[in-house]
Chain A
Amino acid sequence: MSPRSSFERALAELQQDILRMASLVEQAIYDSVQSLIRLDVAGAAQVIMSDEMIDELYLEIEDKCVKLIATQQPLARDLRVAITGIKILLSLERMADHAVDIARATMCLSGQPLTVKCLDYIPRMARLAQQMVKDGLDAYVNGDVQKAREMCALDDEVDYIFARVFRELVNSMREDPRTVMQSAYLLYVSRYLERIADHATNIGEAVIYLVTGERWELN
């Protein structure tokens, strides 16, 4: 086996590892949103607990990646593959943290029924953000630059909804001081969702860079 092919194999394995972590992160985001919508404390607690596993996996893969770069000293495209790997890992790890943040907010919100109205915006935002994460990862798997570029539009929509949620929540705080706590938490939640969407676009950018070698700003 030539050193070349062993390196290529290591890169392929790296991609598998990243996708494995991605599967956990997607699940965590989904579960955090579901437990928020249902105010399901047990579900939220599970998300928070499962983050430990994601963190471990993250460190493990990052280690592998660094070792790969240090020992093989890849050049040109190979270097790009390794570096994008690290970038995507980082985005995934951040997303997982935001999922945990949402779960924490859910823990605080549960206990009393939600009286704030904007709750139907948040699931919509969540759906979009989840779609973006999925698109970004699909683009990564298939090296699909087109798909990565298309994520722009979704990100704009998320930003737009975020602005609206913000306005509505602030209004509801003003109108009914009793909802301040709830509104504040929901504000956090929508901010986290918006951040998750941003990280998804980062993945999209990384894919574009990986395939074409150009840098491209999606947002």
Chain B
Amino acid sequence: MKLNFLQGVSWRPVVSYFFLMVIFFALLQLYAAKKLSVLGALLIILPLSVLLAWLLYRRVIGPLNEIIAAARDMARGNLDRELHLCTPDEIGELARSINEMARQLRETIAMITEEKNRVRAILNSMADGVIALDRDGRVLLVNPVVEEIFDLREEACLGKKILGVIRNYDLERLLSRTLESQNSTSEEIKILGAGSEPRFFRLQATPLKSCHGETGGVVVVLRDITERKKLEQMRTEFVANVSHELRTPLTSIKGFLETLLDGAIDDPGTSRHFLEIISQETERLTRLVDELLNLSKIEERRVVHRWQRVNLEDIISRVVSLFRPRAGEKSLTLILEVSRDLPAVYGDPDMLAQVLINLLDNAVKYTPPRGSITIRAMVRGDQLRVEVEDTGIGIPAESLPRVFERFYRVDKARSRELGGYGIGLAIVKHIIRAHGGKIDVQSTPGKGSLFFFTLPLAENVSG
């Protein structure tokens, strides 16, 4: 116990004080004995006190200054500075503890930084958007997905209120509601983002509890559900359209059957005529159901693709020969411009034939007599390109983006007259997509249309 106490004391200052005291007494003694004048005493004292002051400075004040400077530096965030005071006294001890503290802080900060980087990395790699707000509703963080959706930069929005960054009524309402109630909320909202099309998002807002359990900010996750919304809408339209399309022939069949049952059956001329109409309508119904099945099969990708090398030249000539008689009836010229040695593609020959059939069917249908239809096939880069061009009625510009939609027909009355349901091109598009290709159309109303699609060449397709 006693020894411990003694160990903590550094001897140097004690000794020097003791020494000073001895000298002081000696001088006092000498002065009292009149052996020394005031001047003499001063002459002895002065160099001694200078020496002492110097010692004090070297041993105490200098090191303390250094420690103060280092501490200031650390407060400013520079923790790499180390104190080199290895004296065995209290000051050395102080320096060592400060070094130790700095090391610990360095470690903690490194840990926190690493943790923060990890969280950042997770946020950055998320497919969903994330926005965090503090208690006052100011932006703490947004991730890159949000930056992209709203075309903004994170630095520009930190510390701002959400409305100053993203002007969306529903988003702001959801966030302030969550901030206030401190309950998780979720909602679907529409956002006019950077693009021209609106996007739909499912929002999930969760309150952030701060570590002391007081109310904190809020974090919201935005999941893009635009595709799903579109599909939902298409499905609704589809069902409505199908019902309508099925209803029309059925009504007519029912009407004629009733008339027949009511007695028209006894008149052979009329009944034959009616039965013919019924047969035609049944034909229409069958075709519609077939195409629907076809379409849904393709959509569900349940069709077993008979993947194989396909020589498109053969298919083209086969399909074109199918259409020759019909074209002849309308005095349409069919022109074939197929490059020689057309490379093969991978795909299902029946489906690819279906594509050409649907395109040629349209071309023949929508081209008035004495027009011409040209079928071209060539290599473009690493793709095979096939074109079907006609000199027909063409498609107005505003309808161009829609002709590949199910049941879309430019002129409903006219198409129906020609027996169309608006499914042909939807099937074509699905088949080409399933084959990894692209299809598009150009058209000038009154002049003609050009449908073209591309398929990857077989040599570029693995498997």
B-binding residues in A (CB < 8 A) = 15-16, 19-20, 22-24, 26-27, 30, 34, 114, 119-120, 127, 137, 141-142
Q: How far is the CB of B175 from chain A (nearest CB, A)?
A: 12
Closest to A141 in B: B164
Is A19 within 8 A of B163, CB to CB?
Answer: yes
Please report whether the interface of chain B is mostly helix, strand, loop or mixed according to DSSP. mixed
Is B167 within 8 A of A137, CB to CB?
Answer: yes
Is B192 within 8 A of A27, CB to CB?
Answer: yes
| B55 CB-CB contact with A under 8 Å | no
A residues less than 8 Å from B190 (CB atoms): 27
B residues less than 8 Å from A137 (CB atoms): 167
B residues less than 8 Å from A34 (CB atoms): 198
A-binding residues in B (CB < 8 A) = 160-161, 163-164, 167-169, 172, 190, 192, 196, 198, 397-398
B residues less than 8 Å from A26 (CB atoms): 167, 192
A residues less than 8 Å from B196 (CB atoms): 127
Name the one of B161, B164, B172, B198 contacting A30, with C-beta atoms under 8 angstroms. B198
Is A23 within 8 A of B163, CB to CB?
Answer: yes
Is A19 within 8 A of B198, CB to CB?
Answer: no
**6 A–B pairs (Cβ distance < 8 Å), ordered by A:** A16-B163, A19-B164, A20-B169, A23-B163, A26-B192, A141-B160
> Contacts A119-B398, A120-B397; is A23 near B168 (CB within 8 Å)?
yes
Q: How far is the CB of B236 from chain A (nearest CB, A)?
A: 12
Is B192 within 8 A of A24, CB to CB?
Answer: no
Number of A-B contacts (CB under 8 A): 33
Closest to A120 in B: B397
Is B167 within 8 A of A23, CB to CB?
Answer: yes
B residues less than 8 Å from A15 (CB atoms): 164
A residues less than 8 Å from B397 (CB atoms): 120
> Contacts A30-B192, A119-B398, A120-B397; is A22 near B161 (CB within 8 Å)?
no
Closest to A18 in B: B163
Q: Which 6 A-B pairs have the closest CB atoms?
A: A19-B163, A23-B167, A23-B169, A141-B164, A24-B169, A30-B192
A residues less than 8 Å from B192 (CB atoms): 26-27, 30
Closest to A119 in B: B398
Q: How far is the CB of A219 from chain B (nearest CB, A)?
A: 24
> Contacts A16-B163, A137-B167; is A23 near B172 (CB within 8 Å)?
yes
Is A22 within 8 A of B167, CB to CB?
Answer: yes
A residues less than 8 Å from B160 (CB atoms): 141
B residues less than 8 Å from A19 (CB atoms): 163-164, 167
| Complex Cα gap A20–B161 (Å) | 11
B residues less than 8 Å from A20 (CB atoms): 163, 169, 172
| Complex Cα gap A20–B163 (Å) | 7
Closest to B165 in A: A141
A residues less than 8 Å from B168 (CB atoms): 23, 27
Q: How far is the CB of B237 from chain A (nearest CB, A)?
A: 12
| Complex Cα gap A24–B163 (Å) | 12
| Complex Cα gap A23–B165 (Å) | 11
A residues less than 8 Å from B164 (CB atoms): 15, 19, 141-142
Q: How far is the CB of A9 from chain B (nearest CB, A)?
A: 11
Q: How far is the CB of B190 from chain A (nearest CB, A)?
A: 8
Q: How far is the CB of A134 from chain B (nearest CB, A)?
A: 8
Q: How far is the CB of A180 from chain B (nearest CB, A)?
A: 20
Q: Given A20-B163, A141-B160, 19 other A-B contacts at CB below 8 A?
A: A16-B161, A19-B163, A20-B172, A23-B163, A23-B167, A23-B168, A23-B172, A26-B167, A27-B169, A27-B192, A30-B192, A34-B198, A114-B398, A119-B398, A120-B397, A127-B196, A137-B167, A141-B164, A142-B164
Q: How far is the CB of B233 from chain A (nearest CB, A)?
A: 12
